[in-house]
Amino acid sequence: MTDSSEDRDLLALAAAGDRAAFEAFYRRHGAWLAMRLRYRCADPALVDDIVQDTFLDVWRGAARYRDDGDVAGWLWRIGSRRLVDAARGHGARERLARLLARFRGREEPSAEEQVLAGVEHGDLAGAIARLSPELRAVVQATVLDGLTTAEAAALLRIPPGTVKTRAMRARRQLRQELT
């Protein structure tokens, strides 16, 4: 996507209050983040709000980037968590109803929309809550936040093989509980 060393430099300058560096960082990543969030959410207004909130978080706390991973992965974690927070927030049922109403022309919502609705309102939320903390963290990172195995491994500070093993165990446990 972009050169991480340049991104790190831009973040360091933005943390020092350099508005031009922050604007350059936004130009490099804003459209990419919006596109990636649109794969998770069909509400363009909500996606625009999430992108704005994400970059506002970066502007207010860019110094919190610890230089221990990919900048784009760090930015994606902020944006995806903001999206999850928005779905859990006040009015989530109304947003879900509007989203599903948009798809009435289709025979049924996409698989991802069904899963996200189940996370918020169905048995899946309870099944995920009953996972051990280690398995739940992997599910959160790889499924709900949409991180790759490598990104999840960096975030959780465990080897990629451990992420894969825990994901397999979590899927097996969820399958048993939900069938």
Domains belonging to the chain, first-starting first, are: 1-88 (1.10.1740.10), 122-179 (1.10.10.10)
Digit-by-digit pLDDT tens for the chain (179 residues) are 445 778 888 888 888 888 999 899 999 999 999 998 888 877 888 888 889 988 888 888 754 766 667 788 888 888 888 887 776 664 555 555 555 565 555 555 555 556 665 555 557 777 888 889 899 889 888 887 778 888 888 878 899 999 999 999 998 998 888 77
Q: What's the pLDDT tens digit per position in 82-134? A: 887 776 664 555 555 555 565 555 555 555 556 665 555 557 777 888 889 89
- Is residue 47 within 8 Å of 87, Cβ to Cβ? no
**Distance from C-alpha of 41 to C-alpha of 35, rounded to nearest angstrom:** 10
Q: Output the pTM of the full model.
A: 0.50
